[in-house]
Copies of this chain bind each other. A is one copy, B any other.
Amino acid sequence: MSDSGSIRVIPLGGLGEIGLNCLVLEYARAALMIDCGVMFPDHYMLGVDLVIPDFSYLSELGDKLLGIVITHGHEDHIGALPYVLREVEAPIFAPPMAAGLVREKLREHKRLDTSRLEVFRPGEEWSLGPFRIDPIHMTHSIVDAVALAVNTPLGTVLHTGDFKLDQTPIDGRPSDMARLAEYGSKGVLLLLSDSTNVEREGHTPTERSVRGGLDTVFREARGKVFFSTFSSHVHRVRQVIELSQTYGRKVAIVGRSFQTTIKIAAELGHLPLTPGLFVDADDIADMAPHEITLLTSGSQGEALSALTRISMDDHKVKMLPGDSVILSSKFIPGNERIIMGMVNHMVRRGALVYHQDSAPVHVSGHASQEELKLMLRLTRPRYFAPIHGEYRHLVRHRELACEVGLDPEDTFVVEDGQVLEVDESGARIAGEVTAGRVFVDGKGIGDVADIVLRDRRHLSQDGFVLAVIGINQHSGEVVSGPDLVSRGIALEEDVQLYLEEARGLILETLQQLARESRTDSLEVQEEVRKTLKRYFSKTLERRPVILPFIMEM
């Protein structure tokens, strides 16, 4: 290894899943973190509120960690900040919109006063130890998204963040391809590029292409228009505000988080705040339906969201026949049935519903294959590793890189926790650090692990039955019980008969035990467990969790 040392790239999340994006970059005695996001729990993560990266490795870094640099303000890039700040003390650097959202998040977690948050703008380079960081403007489904060129003495590591190459974005500011090309000419040592949409052929349509679809809805709408998207999708919201002005509608925002985000975006100049345009949701009762647009949260059918509650007629805002609803976002895989359940409710209210499958009201914010190839061509990296995707995305993106001419030996499918080491003699995967997913449930962080989920899953499938028995500790006679209690097995009235029968079986079993066994509470426990297990398996083909509780009296 040469004197100039090596660069180490260590993903702690996002390379093996969609979301959880978090990557550590090390050079010499210094380290940077790029993004620190959450992942939303999958169905099988019962009761889990949030998934964050395992930060154990950071303790090894100690004070080498000079800062956390954020590429944009989506939850899967900033959501784990309040948790990482419990482990390390490091300044956060973020572009304006992201900084606004981070500030709000730290305030909620009561960490604002103890944290250092710095705002940067594209083109404004700064140094952190050996790293000279150059943020490059990119287009994405949130404003103020950047790629990061991290310049080190060994060369430039280019991290794309999330991006698409939108040539006609709403604010007229396309991705800074000139700057990317400039780095390409100077030489990029390592490119780390977004793989989310690598399975899509062609080019992701421009944000502007949604305008036609939205305009059609507004033109034809006779009642209120309900519009829902991720609240941080400022360009989408801006289009809806503009259309509302065109068609003479006032805009009301329903939902606190949506209001906060709009406020941040407006303060940063991303949204026109024409006087009199916005109205309070409480004041729309007196207005004609065709004069109202409602921005509401809940495009994913979230259980407590305004939109779900409105669809079920459980909200002060009413959805009425002739109203229109636009669900302007992708159905996140796993949410389809819940969203479609919400749509059924809306149709029952008499609303016309427009969504990704029925109208051109959404486009993705991630680059498709042709854009990804263009990124590779523009930046001409020496080495390449795909980021932001499940395993199959990373593999596909690597293939794409080989198709545009990279040597397969220079491309790396790196997974969370693996160390990609680059020095003057080459690049290689060199070892592994602790990484993984940590579950947040209520106030607990990491105390719900696979084994706890297994218990919850078992309970969720067939419930449990508890048997409490008092045993005379000398004679082994049953002096109290068995008392049987169950939950989640079957209906109360049905289960009583079964419990009664099971009670008899337990007594029978215990009577057949030798006296020394009957006085051994562990053995009694085991016999009761076996009896109940067999009984419920035979009668109902169910396997409840069984809890024998023996009291020696």
Contacts and interface: CB of A to CB of B under 8 A. Distances in A.
Contacts of A551: 468, 470, 480, 483, 551
Interface string A351-391: 00100011000000000000000000000000000000011
A177 interface: no
A336 interface: yes
Interface of A, secondary structure class, is mixed
A540 B442 contact: yes
A277 interface: no
A1 interface: no
A463 B452 contact: yes
Nearest to A479: B553
A275 interface: no
A451 B490 CA distance: 9
Number of copies: 2
A463 B468 contact: no
A443 B541 contact: yes
Contacts of A449: 491
Given A43-B43, A442-B542, A452 B490 contact: yes
A20 interface: no
A437 to B, nearest CB: 14
A547 interface: yes
A485 B468 CA distance: 12
Nearest to A454: B488
Interface stretch (A62-70, A213-221, A292-300, A337-345): A337-345
Contacts of A485: 547, 549
Contacts of A553: 470, 480, 553
A526 interface: no
A242 interface: no
B463 A488 contact: no
A313 interface: no
A357 B463 CA distance: 38
Interface string A405-421: 00000000000000000
A325 to B, nearest CB: 11
A448 interface: yes
Contacts of A447: 490-491, 494-495
Contacts of A460: 46-47, 456-457, 459-460
A418 B393 CA distance: 48
Given A443-B540, A466-B549, A542-B442, A390 B487 contact: no
Contacts of A459: 456, 459-460, 463-464, 487-488
A56 to B, nearest CB: 16
A333 interface: yes
Interface string A7-25: 0000000000000000000
A337 B448 CA distance: 22
Contact of A353 (B392, B441, B468, B495): B392
A42 B337 contact: yes
Given A539-B443, A542-B441, A455 B463 contact: yes
Given A199-B358, A347-B392, A539-B443, A464 B480 contact: no
A486 to B, nearest CB: 9
Nearest to A341: B390
Interface in A462-482: 462-464, 466, 468, 470, 480
* The 9 nearest A-B residue pairs measured at CB: A442-B541, A460-B460, A333-B336, A47-B461, A459-B459, A455-B488, A447-B490, A456-B488, A347-B392
12 contacts: A46-B460, A347-B392, A441-B540, A447-B491, A449-B491, A452-B488, A456-B460, A456-B488, A457-B460, A459-B463, A459-B488, A466-B547
